[in-house]
Amino acid sequence: MDRRTFVIGTTATATAFAAGPAFAQDAFPSRAVTIICAFPPGGANDIVTRPIAAALEPILKQPVVVETKAGAGGQVGAQVAASAKPDGYTLLSHNNGISGYAEVDKLFGRQPKTTRADFIPLARLIADPVLLVVNDQQPYKTLKDFIDDAKKRPEAIVYSSGGLYGATHLPVAIFEKATGIPKLRHLPTNGGGPAITALLGNNAQMSTQTVSATLQHIKAGKLRALASFGGARSKVLPDVPTLKELGYDAEYYLWVGIFAPKGTPASALATLSAALDKAAASDVFKNVVSGLGQEFAYLNAKDFEAFWTADAKRSDEAVQLIGKQG
Amino acid sequence: MESTLLSLAHGFAVAFQPDNLWYAFLGCLVGTLVGVLPGIGPLSGISILLPVTFGLNATQAVIMLAGIYYGSQYGGSTTSILMRIPGEASSVMTCIDGNAMARKGRAGAALCIAAVGSFVAGTFGVIMLTLVAPPLATIALRFGPPEYTALLVLGLIFLAYMSSTSLVRTLLMACIGLLLGMIGIDNMTGHFRYSFDLAELGDGIGIVPVAVGLFGLGEILSTPSHKVRGEVISPKFRELLPNRQEWGESVMPIARGSVLGFIIGIIPGSAHIISSFLSYALEKRVSKHPEEFGKGAVAGVAGPESANNAASTGAFVPMLSLGIPTGPITAVLIGALMIHGVPAGPQLVTEHPDLFWGFVASMYVGNLMLLALNLPLVSVFVTVLRIPYAYLYPLIIMFCIVGVYEVSHSIVDVYIMLIMGVLGYGLRKFNFDPAPLVLGLVIAPLLEQSLRQSLIMSNGNYFIFFSRPIALGLLIVCAVLLALSALAFALKRKDWRAKLAEAEAGEAQG
């Protein structure tokens, strides 16, 4: 190597380094992308985020790392993502919870840490309709039986949820309002699994849980689904009527979505959103969704935004209906 | 019975297929590493390796992932014994007598006993799982909030046997633990309690940062202030193995720990954390030499180590026969099964007998593999103690920080650990034992939640605790224990003040 090429080479390298940020913007992504998962392993978020990350890697041609930041019902992860540098390299995997924090904070007179405006929706990965399930020791055969009994015995029927103002608590509030029944008695637990355990052990009589979480127990006859909060009947449970069919205006899904922090450049958003569309069409991801017993419910950025707006409205209303406890 | 044996034989045929054997080995190997390295816990180990299993079939996946889980329970005691760092909540009790044994030059013996105890307990757990899983799981479901409350009251009573210092000091520590356990979101109303506007404190103070800080860091901080022996212990191979007396002292604790751990393990919820605490307290209660506890009692290692292993196997009972998770790790395993299109539920045994029995059989094989992996490693681990403190301790501090951060990727946890380290140093100087504090921290949120859940179920009526047979039974055990202690006082014709003064005097001398 003579001196001239050395100088040229060094200068070129130095220029490339100096132009680093601008260069990176042109060819996003130029390094690993991190998806912050706001819920611990074992939950739906973790289960669907890891395969989507695996499917994204060959498309973005960069490593996609899933980093768990769980805690306080998903608030820790949301706060971390909201305060991350909005350059497209930090994304957030969250669920219904992200809609309600601000409303709950308002209820308690707290300054909201994050609001919906802090996040840009990129994709809805799954949407699992919620079912109203009772255990096999209950006499109810139809939703009408349940509603009649609930009217007769106010605050006597106990329902379990995965946590206050959570995705398995809000649907009950929506249901109470739609049917006009007096309030049911709430047994909060610390997660979806414990809530189902409480129901199976007859420590609670009813719960609103997703199709994939309860399907096996329904098939085994331990739980009975009286109605679905879905827009249409579930393909795996065709005999369960939807609340809409029965004439009640109630709809609720447990969904998982990918978000970017506010301020992420539009070019990065376009790349990510196109990559997510492609990753969702991959076999790896589709197999996981069907393995979970769910129907394919992916929504791209535009459709997800519309869905999220409607869903957040339902969630805010439900939080207000529940009000402040104790 | 006959059909069970037949199915199990079929399961062994599945488990002995070379592929499955290989994945069981791989899982156990990773599990051992995960258990020994303080930087990574079984939960993150399993979830990181989950995508790797996408190419495997469901049986191979669950054999490997479960191997990581029960494998990590073997290695978990290593850092507790050698360096007094509990890698997870269940090895807190091993720190006390395990590390005391190591100080007496019996680190090898402690590690061997822990490995053999784990093996016996693991195998006992699998045998029970094979024989009685379905009926037992149904009983476990009846363990609701009132039963939990009663079990935790029993745990509180056992607190008194937790520590080698005086009762007053023990209770003081326990109270601080209970108070710390109050931090976090109130599950019943949604209020943040003592969280100082930190979302990271919303789920309360983690057990691992507190335990690592109080035990590990506190120990390291206090080392420079007392005389450190200059020479390095380099035991001969023969001295690595437990002697006849040590074996003899560990037989019954291993047996009791196995049974106790398995029973607690099958209860859905987070009760398995307290299995090692209860086992330690039980051993101290039945021991003829309770004064040896805290100073290197073999039973104080053998019992809790067996109990936590049996509990981890017991956790598979509700998971396999009912499809309900007993904790975060079984929840991940259920998720892994679902991804592979095998929904865990009550019909798993009938719909996927290959997977069910293959998995059960693989655990027999896996436990043998783990014993074979862990016993030779004892001599390797013991050599760690030959590293001079000046080099070893900075390394340990690094591992503490990395390990605590890794649990929930939270820098707040690292600060908690550092604060607890300073507190641990202070407690050591003033001769307080941190174990009751940790147990208080474990019990407080569980007790509060189950008590309030019970009262929601009964609409505020306390009679619910006496109207359910299991809860009533546990409360009667509590009453008997209290009555026995009261009787001992009465027979000695001393009131508690005199006894207390005596205890304090004894402590001042010692």
Write out the E strands in chain A: 33-37, 64-68, 90-95, 119-135, 158-161, 185-188, 206-210, 223-228, 253-261
Do B145 and A203 make contact, defined as CB atoms within 8 angstroms? yes
**Running DSSP on this structure, what letter comes out for residue B212?**
I
Whether B412 has its CB under 8 Å from any CB of chain A: the answer is no
Q: Count CA atoms closer than 13 A to A168's CA, side-chain side.
A: 29
Judge if A140 and A120 occupy the same domain.
no
Range(s) of the domain holding residue A141: 129-228
Please, which pLDDT band fits residue B484 given cuts at 50, 70 and 90? confident
Q: What is the CATH classification number for the domain harbouring A289?
A: 3.40.190.150
Cβ(A208)–Cβ(A171) below 8 Å: yes
Average of per-residue pLDDT across A290-311: 92
Judge if A113 and A143 occupy the same domain.
no
pLDDT above 70 (res B447) = yes
The nearest CA of chain B is from the CA of A15 a distance in Å of: 36
Place of tokens 């069919």: A245
Average of per-residue pLDDT across B58-64: 91
B296 Cβ neighbours under 8 A, 6+ residues apart: B97, B100, B101, B103, B104, B106
pLDDT of residue B499: 61
Cβ(B329)–Cβ(B62) below 8 Å: no
- What does the alpha-carbon distance between residue B146 and residue A90 come to, in Å, rounded to a whole number? 44
Cβ-nearest to A293 among B268, B343, B409: B343
Ramachandran class of B464: left when φ > 0, alpha when ψ lies in -120 to 50, beta otherwise: alpha
- What does the alpha-carbon distance between residue B345 and residue A45 come to, in Å, rounded to a whole number? 21
Do A50 and B51 make contact, defined as CB atoms within 8 angstroms? yes
Cβ-nearest to B187 among A41, A190, A216: A190
Position A160 in a domain: yes
Place of tokens 């197999």: A287
**Mean predicted lDDT score pLDDT of chain B:** 85
- What does the alpha-carbon distance between residue B434 and residue A75 come to, in Å, rounded to a whole number? 31
Backbone angles phi, psi at A92, to 5 degrees: -130, 135
Return the higher-pLDDT residue of A140 and B135: A140
ipTM computed for the complex = 0.83
pLDDT, tens digit (0-9, with 9 covering 90-100), for A210-230: 998 898 899 889 999 999 999
Judge if A116 and A134 occupy the same domain.
no
Helices (H), B295-434: 299-314, 316-322, 328-339, 348-351, 353-383, 389-408, 411-429
Tokens of B52: 């790797």
pLDDT above 80 (res A99) = yes
C-alpha distances in angstroms, A148 versus A143, A175, B7, B165?
Answer: 9, 14, 47, 60
- What does the alpha-carbon distance between residue B83 and residue B384 come to, in Å, rounded to a whole number? 9
Q: Count CA atoms closer than 13 A to B103's CA, side-chain side.
A: 17
Judge if A53 and A119 occupy the same domain.
yes
Judge if A111 and A166 occupy the same domain.
no
- What does the alpha-carbon distance between residue B69 and residue B42 come to, in Å, rounded to a whole number? 6
Task: Measure CA of the first residue to CA of the last residue in chain A; give whole Å.
Answer: 78
- What does the alpha-carbon distance between residue B228 and residue A212 come to, in Å, rounded to a whole number? 59
Judge if A133 and A217 occupy the same domain.
yes
Judge if A39 and A53 occupy the same domain.
yes
Residue in A with minimal Cα distance to B140: A201
pLDDT above 50 (res A17) = no
pLDDT of residue B347: 80
Look at B17-26, B359-368, B369-378, B470-479 and tell me which has the smallest mean pLDDT.
Answer: B369-378
- What does the alpha-carbon distance between residue B260 and residue B252 come to, in Å, rounded to a whole number? 12
**Beta strand pairing status for A90-95 and A185-188?**
unpaired
Judge if A143 and A223 occupy the same domain.
yes
- What does the alpha-carbon distance between residue A68 and residue A37 come to, in Å, rounded to a whole number? 5
Buried b / exposed e over B355-382, threshold 16 CB at 10 Å, is: bbbbbbbbbbbbbebbbebbbebbeebb
Do B341 and A197 make contact, defined as CB atoms within 8 angstroms? no
Secondary structure of chain A: what % helix, strand, coil (to 5)?
45, 20, 35
Chain-centroid distance of CA B39 in Å reads 18
Position A178 in a domain: yes
Q: What is the CATH classification number for the domain harbouring A155?
A: 3.40.190.10
Tokens of A255: 């969904």
Q: Dihedral of the CA atoms B269, B182, B303, A193 (nearest 10)? A: 10
Position A316 in a domain: no
- What does the alpha-carbon distance between residue A289 and residue A283 come to, in Å, rounded to a whole number? 10
- What does the alpha-carbon distance between residue A130 and residue A173 come to, in Å, rounded to a whole number? 13
Count of the separate structural domains present in chain A:
2
**Running DSSP on this structure, what letter comes out for residue B193?**
E
pLDDT, tens digit (0-9, with 9 covering 90-100), for B292-344: 888 889 999 999 999 989 998 888 888 888 888 877 788 888 888 888 878 78
B302 Cβ neighbours under 8 A, 6+ residues apart: B113, B114, B117, B249, B250, B253, B254, B257, B283
Cβ(A222)–Cβ(A200) below 8 Å: yes
Cβ-nearest to B51 among A51, A71, A292: A51
pLDDT above 80 (res A266) = yes
Whether B331 has its CB under 8 Å from any CB of chain A: the answer is yes
Beta bridge partners of A256: A95, A126
Average of per-residue pLDDT across B394-404: 85
pLDDT of residue B507: 56
Whether B347 has its CB under 8 Å from any CB of chain A: the answer is yes
Do B200 and A72 make contact, defined as CB atoms within 8 angstroms? yes
Beta bridge partners of A209: A131
Q: Count CA atoms closer than 13 A to B334's CA, side-chain side.
A: 31
Average of per-residue pLDDT across A134-157: 94
The Cα diameter of chain A in Å comes to 94
Position A325 in a domain: no
Return the higher-pLDDT residue of A254 and B485: A254
Please, which pLDDT band fits residue A9 given cuts at 50, 70 and 90? very low
Angle between helices B58-83 and B107-141 (to 10 degrees): 130
Position A27 in a domain: no
Listed by number, the residues of chain A in 190-229 with a beta carbon closer than 8 Å to a beta carbon of chain B are 190, 193-194, 196-198, 200-204, 212, 215-217, 219-220, 222
Please, which pLDDT band fits residue B505 given cuts at 50, 70 and 90? low
- Give residue limits of the domains in chain B: 2-509
C-alpha distances in angstroms, A217 versus A288, B137, B143, B345, B347?
Answer: 20, 14, 18, 6, 9
pLDDT of residue A62: 92
The nearest CA of chain A is from the CA of B46 a distance in Å of: 9
- Which residues from chain B sit within 8 angstroms of residue A216, using beta carbons? 323, 343-347
Q: Dihedral of the CA atoms B119, B123, B126, B130 (nearest 10)? A: 170
Q: Which of A45-59, A127-141, A279-293, B348-362 has the highest mean pLDDT?
A: A127-141
pLDDT, tens digit (0-9, with 9 covering 90-100), for B172-185: 999 999 999 999 88
pLDDT, tens digit (0-9, with 9 covering 90-100), for B113-147: 999 999 999 999 999 988 877 777 777 888 889 99
- pTM for this entry: 0.84
pLDDT of residue A136: 94
Average of per-residue pLDDT across A306-324: 92
